[in-house]
A and B are shown apart, each in its own frame.
Chain A
Amino acid sequence: MSYRVVHYINQFFANIGGEEMAHVPPELREGHVGPGLAFNQAWKGEAEIVQTIVCGDSYFAEHEKDAKAQVLEWVKEAKPDLFIAGPAFNAGRYGYACANVCQVVQDELGIPVLTGMYEENPGADLKEKVLIVATTNSAAGMRKAAPTMAKLAMKLMKGEALGASCEEGYMPNGIRRNFFEKERGSKRAVDMLLSKLAEKPFTTEYPMPSFDRVAPNKAVKDLSKATIALCTSGGIVPKGNPDHIESSSASHYGEYCIKGVEKLTSETYETAHGGYDPVYANENPNRVLPVDVLRELEKEGKIGKLHDYYYATVGNGTAVASAKKFAAEYAQKLLQANVNAVIMTST
């Protein structure tokens, strides 16, 4: 039995007409229509387009909610293994429709989706949400786009792991995947430098992200009444690392009670961190988590109280998304415990 596919195309590719017919509402046809033939041929019987949904681009733009609802109804009925749309090349409203209809099918029905378009098509704004194959800017690129899309579609239907974007032909979707290049890194660097020096085009292998900046809170007005908590990404844990926090790429954080602990000692605490020389932190863990100093300040009345619990993880090689998740969780605990301020130590 072959895999079953539903294909979405616009009025132009269904041969209904151009701009003058862009108002046509969604229509369901059996089998493949227009560009669907190229996919069917590439799949060689392993998969087949069972139905084609045709919709005018203006209709989709002006009645997006209705159009999506109609598509969802038909796709739900058809229960395909894959929903494929386009490719839209540089047709803006068509690209927008393809990407959005794919997103709703994927999110509402949990069916794998795939579309294709030119990278400057406005629909490509959704490239991190749905899988989009990069095509040329005109339909003349169909001969190249069809096999790329068909191959990727087959992987999705079989549930196989995807390779890196540049290997598979999809637009970078924010998920970094490893693969083996043909040339070693140093050669690629020299080639890239020669292009850059000659002001020829080159493609960076890692486009720089824009960073999340956090504005500092206002200063604590009266420290002598404040409860201060200690938190660290320096990996200070009770001796033996009871929660098995990883030495790099931590998957969790630990919550540890320091009520009545006057200072950390090498007998009772240590670091789990694998990214720095552990000797000095193990000798005197207060160097990373300054419980001793905070206790002194507590006695002197300079701070109200050191919070009874501290939170610790290992920052070494830990994904920013993981770190953000840990902090979001224990920040709530700190708020519930009426902690006024946190000293976060890093290493």
Chain B
Amino acid sequence: MKLELGFIQIRDIQFSKECKVESGTLYVNADEVKDFIFQDDDVKACVKAAHFDIAKPGESVRITPVKDVIEPRVKVEGPGGEFPGVIAKVDTVGSGKTHVLRGMAIVTAGKIVGFQEGIIDMSGPGADYTPFSKLLNLVLVCEPVEGVHQHEYEHAVRIAGLRAATFVGELGRSLTPDETQEFETYGIKEGIEKLPDLPRVAYVHMLQSQGLLHDTYVYGVDAKKIISTLINPTETMDGAIISGNCVSACDKNTTYHHQNNPVVADLFAQHGKTLNYVCNIITNENVYLADKQRSSDWASKLAGMLDLDGVIISEEGFGNPDTDLIMNCKKTEQKGVKTVLVTDEYAGQDGKSQSLADADPLADAVVTGGNANEVIILPPMDKVIGTLDYVDKIAGGHAGSLRPDGSIEAEIQVITGATNEIGFNCLSAR
């Protein structure tokens, strides 16, 4: 399957009377985008009000509570459309041509539940920890209809963000990309014939599925309900997997992370040179033991059936999913397939505790995204998009996290994407 991505570099975002992309500037008529968002019945029923704001790298701006971050894209050739099974029809994506508005993102913010959302600082020390401080962010701040059920509201805000991204992505349809790149994996037999001497490698992509507010969707299917299965890496790159998370912001994959999964990118970079990138295996992280057993059995079984030599296994979240990570590792290694794990750590604020909730001697090759418990002071910002009302309550905050001068003392856990476990960042620990 071959996918071509055409990157259109966005260098500025401005509010305007009309919506267009011209000479690298995205012009946005906020009312037009809102109209499109509110055409969805669920959004209409659950979202009382929405407004847009713009946050640029280097500005003294804090966005919180952040729910999701999404890259606007549009399918210009080939089957399917953006966010299949959710926004577009369910046709298989991952082939043809997709235009990407690079350098920007749609960020959804506002109250989801009482706690559990992240912080993006556009400057200062916090900005070093989140990749989204480097993007031009079009922020969609939503307010709930009074009395709305939390689960329904999470769904509505998720859809609102995806619709905003779809609308903005569409503005790139007829533009000529600044740069194009092609990505292709082979069929099983074809791969063996073309790359007979290279090790066969796959990516075991663990999807957060602990429960509502900790969910991931694949072609619109709740990942809790999947059995571990195969997916082409280009499908992942093309919007097949979206985030339904808004809990413990540091190590949950936003939709942007899925669209730009760096394990996929770095395996593609070696594909045909040092390894044969066969496919991705997606598996979930359900809370029941039977589900954990079944899913890890299946993930490792698929690795065995594909005669793989090695896999990279990435976790999403921490604590409970550490068990899934270790089960996947152990069973895959026992099939004779070598593993490297990507995780993060909860070693305590003093760094002295064991970092994972589970361990096994077979897990001898681990990459870490850092200790999420490390404390950081985030200085006050001139402008807050969203509200600081929940800073004391979000995961990683504590009573008194928000200090009278507007600065925040909290664990880096509060920062969106800080200890990402698909290896998005350079942050690590020893």
In the complex, whether A221 has a CB less than 8 A from a CB of chain B is no
Q: B354-367: contact bitstring with A at CB < 8 Å (1 yes, 0 no)? A: 11100111011111
Residues 331 to 369 of chain B near chain A (Cβ within 8 Å):
338, 340, 342-343, 345-356, 359-361, 363-369
Closest B residue, CB atoms, query A204:
B366
Inter-chain CA distance A276–B320, complex, in Å, is 10
- A interface SS class: loop
Question: Least Cβ distance of A169 to chain B in Å?
Answer: 11
- B interface SS class: loop
Inter-chain CA distance A8–B159, complex, in Å, is 67
Inter-chain CA distance A192–B355, complex, in Å, is 20
Residues 159 to 207 of chain A near chain B (Cβ within 8 Å):
164-167, 172, 174-190, 192-194, 196-197, 202, 204-206
In the complex, whether A320 has a CB less than 8 A from a CB of chain B is yes
In the complex, whether A249 has a CB less than 8 A from a CB of chain B is yes
In the complex, whether B89 has a CB less than 8 A from a CB of chain A is no
* B425 contact from A164, A165, A184, A276, Cβ within 8 A: A184
Contacting pair B373 A205 (CB below 8 A): no
Contacting pair A178 B427 (CB below 8 A): yes
How many residues on chain B are close to A (CB under 8 Å)? 88
* B367 contact from A185, A211, A278, Cβ within 8 A: A185
Segment at the B interface, from A18-26, A47-55, A86-94, A240-248:
A240-248
In the complex, whether A209 has a CB less than 8 A from a CB of chain B is yes
Contacting pair A244 B399 (CB below 8 A): yes
In the complex, whether A238 has a CB less than 8 A from a CB of chain B is no
Question: Least Cβ distance of A295 to chain B in Å?
Answer: 27
Chain A residues closer than 8 Å to B343, beta-carbon distance: 206
Contacting pair A247 B429 (CB below 8 A): no
In the complex, whether B274 has a CB less than 8 A from a CB of chain A is yes
Question: Least Cβ distance of A331 to chain B in Å?
Answer: 19
Chain A residues closer than 8 Å to B393, beta-carbon distance: 247, 274
Chain B residues closer than 8 Å to A202, beta-carbon distance: 365
In the complex, whether A277 has a CB less than 8 A from a CB of chain B is yes
Contacts A176-B345, A192-B365 known; A206 to B355 CB distance under 8 Å? yes
Contacting pair A177 B429 (CB below 8 A): yes
Question: Least Cβ distance of A139 to chain B in Å?
Answer: 27
In the complex, whether A70 has a CB less than 8 A from a CB of chain B is no
In the complex, whether B81 has a CB less than 8 A from a CB of chain A is no
* A274 contact from B267, B354, B394, Cβ within 8 A: B394
* B115 contact from A166, A247, A321, Cβ within 8 A: A247
In the complex, whether B248 has a CB less than 8 A from a CB of chain A is yes
Segment at the A interface, from B54-62, B162-170, B211-219:
B211-219
Closest B residue, CB atoms, query A321:
B353
Contacts A188-B423, A249-B349, A316-B319 known; A181 to B428 CB distance under 8 Å? yes
Contacting pair B366 A205 (CB below 8 A): yes
In the complex, whether A140 has a CB less than 8 A from a CB of chain B is no
In the complex, whether B413 has a CB less than 8 A from a CB of chain A is yes
Contacting pair A206 B366 (CB below 8 A): yes
In the complex, whether B426 has a CB less than 8 A from a CB of chain A is yes
Segment at the A interface, from B258-266, B290-298, B380-388:
B258-266
* A178 contact from B150, B274, B370, B420, Cβ within 8 A: B370
In the complex, whether B76 has a CB less than 8 A from a CB of chain A is no
* B266 contact from A172, A187, A275, A279, Cβ within 8 A: A187
In the complex, whether B95 has a CB less than 8 A from a CB of chain A is no
Contacting pair A184 B347 (CB below 8 A): no
Chain B residues closer than 8 Å to A185, beta-carbon distance: 262, 342, 367-369, 420-426, 428
In the complex, whether A319 has a CB less than 8 A from a CB of chain B is yes
In the complex, whether A317 has a CB less than 8 A from a CB of chain B is yes
Question: Least Cβ distance of B344 to chain A in Å?
Answer: 9
Chain B residues closer than 8 Å to A205, beta-carbon distance: 366-368, 428-430
Closest B residue, CB atoms, query A314:
B395
Contacts A184-B423, A274-B247 known; A322 to B429 CB distance under 8 Å? no
Contacting pair B319 A188 (CB below 8 A): no
* B212 contact from A165, A197, A249, A277, Cβ within 8 A: A277
Inter-chain CA distance A179–B367, complex, in Å, is 13
Question: Least Cβ distance of A5 to chain B in Å?
Answer: 27
Inter-chain CA distance A178–B371, complex, in Å, is 6
* B346 contact from A181, A193, A249, Cβ within 8 A: A249
Contacting pair B373 A275 (CB below 8 A): no
Contacting pair A187 B366 (CB below 8 A): no
Contacts A208-B360, A279-B150, A317-B318 known; A176 to B351 CB distance under 8 Å? yes
In the complex, whether B310 has a CB less than 8 A from a CB of chain A is yes
Chain B residues closer than 8 Å to A277, beta-carbon distance: 151, 210-214
Residues 56 to 107 of chain A near chain B (Cβ within 8 Å):
none
* A248 contact from B151, B314, B395, Cβ within 8 A: B395
Chain A residues closer than 8 Å to B422, beta-carbon distance: 185-186
Question: Least Cβ distance of B324 to chain A in Å?
Answer: 15
Inter-chain CA distance A187–B429, complex, in Å, is 16
Given contacts A274-B394, A320-B354, 11 further A-B contacts (CB under 8 A): A175-B351, A180-B426, A185-B262, A188-B428, A205-B428, A249-B411, A277-B212, A277-B213, A278-B114, A279-B150, A316-B248
Binding site for A on B (CB under 8 A): 113-116, 128, 150-151, 199, 201, 210-214, 247-248, 261-263, 265-267, 269-270, 274-275, 287, 309-312, 314, 318-320, 338, 340, 342-343, 345-356, 359-361, 363-374, 392-399, 411-413, 420-430
A-B contact pairs, 28 of them (CB 8 A): A179-B430, A180-B426, A181-B427, A185-B342, A185-B368, A185-B422, A185-B425, A185-B428, A186-B422, A187-B262, A190-B269, A193-B338, A196-B365, A197-B201, A206-B429, A208-B363, A208-B364, A248-B396, A274-B248, A275-B248, A275-B320, A316-B395, A317-B346, A319-B346, A319-B353, A320-B348, A321-B352, A321-B353
Enumerate the 5 nearest inter-chain pairs by beta-carbon distance, A residue then B residue, closest first.
A185-B423, A319-B348, A186-B423, A244-B399, A248-B395
